[in-house]
Amino acid sequence: MRANKVFFITATDTGAGKTVTTFCLGVLLKNLGRNVGVMKPVQCAGQDAQFLKRALGLKDESSLINPFYAPEPLSPHLAFRRAKISFDRRRVQGCLKELCARHEIVLVEGAGGLLAPITDACYNADLVADLKAELIIVARTGLGTINHTLLTISEAKKRRLKIKGIIFCQTGPAKGSLPEKTNPKEIERLSGIKVIGTIPYMKPLTQKSILQQCQNLKLNI
Protein backbone atom coordinates (compact mmCIF):
# COMPACT_ATOMS: atom_id res chain seq x y z
CA MET A 1 0.00 0.00 0.00
CA ARG A 2 2.98 2.27 -0.12
CA ALA A 3 5.35 4.00 -2.45
CA ASN A 4 9.07 3.39 -2.06
CA LYS A 5 8.89 5.78 0.90
CA VAL A 6 6.07 7.35 2.92
CA PHE A 7 6.98 10.03 5.46
CA PHE A 8 4.55 11.48 7.99
CA ILE A 9 5.46 15.07 8.94
CA THR A 10 4.42 15.64 12.53
CA ALA A 11 5.42 18.40 14.94
CA THR A 12 5.92 19.17 18.60
CA ASP A 13 2.88 21.49 18.46
CA THR A 14 0.70 23.55 16.13
CA GLY A 15 2.52 26.27 14.21
CA ALA A 16 5.96 24.65 14.45
CA GLY A 17 6.39 24.68 10.68
CA LYS A 18 5.00 21.42 9.25
CA THR A 19 3.76 22.95 5.99
CA VAL A 20 6.99 24.86 5.41
CA THR A 21 8.97 21.71 6.13
CA THR A 22 6.82 19.61 3.79
CA PHE A 23 7.26 22.18 1.03
CA CYS A 24 11.01 22.36 1.57
CA LEU A 25 11.40 18.59 1.51
CA GLY A 26 9.30 18.39 -1.63
CA VAL A 27 11.43 20.99 -3.41
CA LEU A 28 14.73 19.40 -2.35
CA LEU A 29 13.63 15.89 -3.30
CA LYS A 30 12.26 17.00 -6.67
CA ASN A 31 15.55 18.78 -7.30
CA LEU A 32 17.26 15.40 -6.79
CA GLY A 33 15.06 13.92 -9.48
CA ARG A 34 12.63 12.12 -7.15
CA ASN A 35 8.94 11.78 -7.99
CA VAL A 36 7.25 13.36 -4.95
CA GLY A 37 3.60 13.56 -3.96
CA VAL A 38 2.03 15.12 -0.88
CA MET A 39 -0.97 14.43 1.30
CA LYS A 40 -2.74 16.37 4.04
CA PRO A 41 -5.32 13.82 5.26
CA VAL A 42 -6.87 16.17 7.80
CA GLN A 43 -7.13 19.94 7.51
CA CYS A 44 -9.05 22.30 9.76
CA ALA A 45 -9.33 25.69 8.06
CA GLY A 46 -6.42 27.22 6.18
CA GLN A 47 -5.01 26.47 2.73
CA ASP A 48 -2.07 24.17 3.52
CA ALA A 49 -3.04 21.38 1.13
CA GLN A 50 -3.89 23.81 -1.66
CA PHE A 51 -0.60 25.63 -1.14
CA LEU A 52 1.44 22.42 -1.35
CA LYS A 53 -0.39 21.24 -4.48
CA ARG A 54 0.14 24.57 -6.23
CA ALA A 55 3.67 25.32 -5.00
CA LEU A 56 4.99 21.86 -5.94
CA GLY A 57 3.16 21.80 -9.27
CA LEU A 58 1.22 18.62 -8.49
CA LYS A 59 -1.59 17.35 -10.71
CA ASP A 60 -3.19 15.02 -8.15
CA GLU A 61 -6.82 15.68 -7.30
CA SER A 62 -7.43 17.81 -4.23
CA SER A 63 -9.77 15.11 -2.91
CA LEU A 64 -6.80 12.70 -2.81
CA ILE A 65 -4.40 15.17 -1.24
CA ASN A 66 -6.91 16.37 1.37
CA PRO A 67 -9.81 13.93 1.83
CA PHE A 68 -11.07 15.47 5.09
CA TYR A 69 -11.56 19.21 5.57
CA ALA A 70 -13.38 21.17 8.28
CA PRO A 71 -13.84 24.95 8.07
CA GLU A 72 -12.99 25.89 11.66
CA PRO A 73 -9.41 26.19 13.05
CA LEU A 74 -9.94 23.72 15.89
CA SER A 75 -8.64 20.36 17.03
CA PRO A 76 -9.81 17.91 14.33
CA HIS A 77 -12.06 15.89 16.62
CA LEU A 78 -13.97 19.02 17.59
CA ALA A 79 -13.92 20.60 14.11
CA PHE A 80 -15.30 17.43 12.53
CA ARG A 81 -17.94 17.02 15.24
CA ARG A 82 -19.14 20.59 14.76
CA ALA A 83 -19.18 20.19 10.96
CA LYS A 84 -20.92 16.79 11.24
CA ILE A 85 -18.11 15.11 9.28
CA SER A 86 -17.55 11.39 9.80
CA PHE A 87 -13.84 10.61 9.62
CA ASP A 88 -12.96 7.32 7.90
CA ARG A 89 -9.44 5.92 8.36
CA ARG A 90 -9.97 3.48 5.49
CA ARG A 91 -10.63 6.37 3.10
CA VAL A 92 -7.31 7.94 4.10
CA GLN A 93 -5.56 4.63 3.45
CA GLY A 94 -7.24 4.38 0.06
CA CYS A 95 -6.15 7.89 -0.93
CA LEU A 96 -2.57 7.13 0.10
CA LYS A 97 -2.63 3.89 -1.89
CA GLU A 98 -3.58 5.83 -5.02
CA LEU A 99 -0.91 8.47 -4.41
CA CYS A 100 1.64 5.71 -3.85
CA ALA A 101 0.79 4.29 -7.25
CA ARG A 102 1.69 7.65 -8.80
CA HIS A 103 4.71 8.76 -6.78
CA GLU A 104 8.01 7.35 -5.57
CA ILE A 105 7.85 9.33 -2.31
CA VAL A 106 4.75 10.64 -0.53
CA LEU A 107 5.05 13.31 2.17
CA VAL A 108 2.06 13.19 4.53
CA GLU A 109 1.52 16.29 6.64
CA GLY A 110 -0.30 15.71 9.91
CA ALA A 111 -2.70 18.02 11.71
CA GLY A 112 -1.08 19.11 14.95
CA GLY A 113 1.11 16.79 17.03
CA LEU A 114 1.06 13.03 17.56
CA LEU A 115 -1.59 13.18 20.27
CA ALA A 116 -3.87 15.66 18.53
CA PRO A 117 -7.19 13.76 18.36
CA ILE A 118 -8.83 13.28 14.97
CA THR A 119 -11.77 11.52 16.62
CA ASP A 120 -12.34 10.40 20.19
CA ALA A 121 -10.81 7.05 19.23
CA CYS A 122 -8.13 8.07 16.70
CA TYR A 123 -5.08 10.25 17.17
CA ASN A 124 -2.49 11.38 14.63
CA ALA A 125 -0.21 8.68 16.02
CA ASP A 126 -2.80 6.05 15.04
CA LEU A 127 -2.85 7.45 11.52
CA VAL A 128 0.93 7.11 11.30
CA ALA A 129 0.60 3.43 12.17
CA ASP A 130 -2.28 2.96 9.70
CA LEU A 131 -0.20 4.42 6.87
CA LYS A 132 2.97 2.53 7.83
CA ALA A 133 4.89 5.78 7.52
CA GLU A 134 8.22 6.92 8.92
CA LEU A 135 8.03 9.97 11.17
CA ILE A 136 9.78 13.26 10.56
CA ILE A 137 9.39 15.43 13.66
CA VAL A 138 9.34 19.20 13.16
CA ALA A 139 10.48 21.22 16.17
CA ARG A 140 10.99 24.85 17.07
CA THR A 141 14.51 26.11 17.70
CA GLY A 142 13.97 28.22 20.84
CA LEU A 143 13.64 27.73 24.57
CA GLY A 144 11.23 24.95 25.61
CA THR A 145 11.72 22.80 22.55
CA ILE A 146 13.81 20.18 24.36
CA ASN A 147 10.83 19.20 26.52
CA HIS A 148 8.32 19.25 23.65
CA THR A 149 10.57 17.28 21.32
CA LEU A 150 11.58 14.63 23.85
CA LEU A 151 7.91 14.12 24.77
CA THR A 152 7.03 13.60 21.10
CA ILE A 153 9.91 11.15 20.65
CA SER A 154 8.91 9.29 23.81
CA GLU A 155 5.33 8.84 22.59
CA ALA A 156 6.53 7.68 19.16
CA LYS A 157 8.85 5.12 20.71
CA LYS A 158 6.13 3.90 23.08
CA ARG A 159 3.93 3.24 20.06
CA ARG A 160 6.83 1.65 18.16
CA LEU A 161 6.66 4.18 15.35
CA LYS A 162 9.75 4.47 13.19
CA ILE A 163 11.41 7.90 13.39
CA LYS A 164 13.40 9.08 10.38
CA GLY A 165 14.71 12.17 12.14
CA ILE A 166 14.12 15.68 13.47
CA ILE A 167 13.97 18.91 11.49
CA PHE A 168 14.16 22.26 13.26
CA CYS A 169 12.18 25.05 11.63
CA GLN A 170 12.71 28.75 12.29
CA THR A 171 9.25 30.29 12.01
CA GLY A 172 10.60 33.81 12.53
CA PRO A 173 13.90 35.69 12.23
CA ALA A 174 16.68 34.00 14.20
CA LYS A 175 17.56 35.68 17.50
CA GLY A 176 20.94 34.02 17.86
CA SER A 177 20.10 32.86 21.39
CA LEU A 178 22.03 30.11 23.14
CA PRO A 179 19.01 27.73 23.05
CA GLU A 180 18.70 28.23 19.28
CA LYS A 181 22.37 27.42 18.85
CA THR A 182 22.53 24.41 21.16
CA ASN A 183 19.10 22.74 21.12
CA PRO A 184 19.58 20.63 17.97
CA LYS A 185 22.78 19.00 19.22
CA GLU A 186 21.40 18.58 22.75
CA ILE A 187 18.20 16.93 21.54
CA GLU A 188 20.14 14.61 19.24
CA ARG A 189 22.45 13.69 22.15
CA LEU A 190 19.64 13.16 24.65
CA SER A 191 17.28 11.26 22.35
CA GLY A 192 19.62 9.34 20.09
CA ILE A 193 17.48 10.48 17.12
CA LYS A 194 19.25 11.99 14.13
CA VAL A 195 18.81 15.70 13.42
CA ILE A 196 18.22 16.08 9.68
CA GLY A 197 18.93 19.81 9.80
CA THR A 198 17.46 23.28 10.35
CA ILE A 199 15.21 25.20 7.97
CA PRO A 200 16.00 28.91 8.28
CA TYR A 201 13.36 31.62 8.23
CA MET A 202 12.89 32.62 4.59
CA LYS A 203 10.93 35.55 3.28
CA PRO A 204 9.83 35.15 0.58
CA LEU A 205 9.58 31.37 0.75
CA THR A 206 10.26 30.19 -2.79
CA GLN A 207 11.76 27.18 -4.51
CA LYS A 208 14.83 29.29 -5.27
CA SER A 209 15.32 30.36 -1.63
CA ILE A 210 14.88 26.75 -0.47
CA LEU A 211 17.50 25.45 -2.90
CA GLN A 212 19.88 28.22 -1.81
CA GLN A 213 19.40 28.02 1.95
CA CYS A 214 18.38 24.44 2.82
CA GLN A 215 21.28 22.43 1.51
CA ASN A 216 22.21 21.62 5.11
CA LEU A 217 19.36 19.11 5.34
CA LYS A 218 20.81 15.59 5.36
CA LEU A 219 17.92 13.81 3.67
CA ASN A 220 19.42 10.39 2.81
CA ILE A 221 16.05 9.36 1.39
Query: Which positions are annotated as active-site residues?
Result: 40
Using CA atoms, how far apart are residues 135 and 165, in angstroms rounded to an integer? 7
Residue type, 99: L
Question: Do 39 and 106 touch, CB atoms closer than 8 A?
Answer: yes
The distance between the two most distant Cα atoms of the chain, rounded to a whole number of Å, is 47
Using CA atoms, how far apart are residues 8 and 29, in angstroms rounded to an integer? 15
Using CA atoms, how far apart are residues 164 and 182, in angstroms rounded to an integer? 21
Residues in the chain: 221
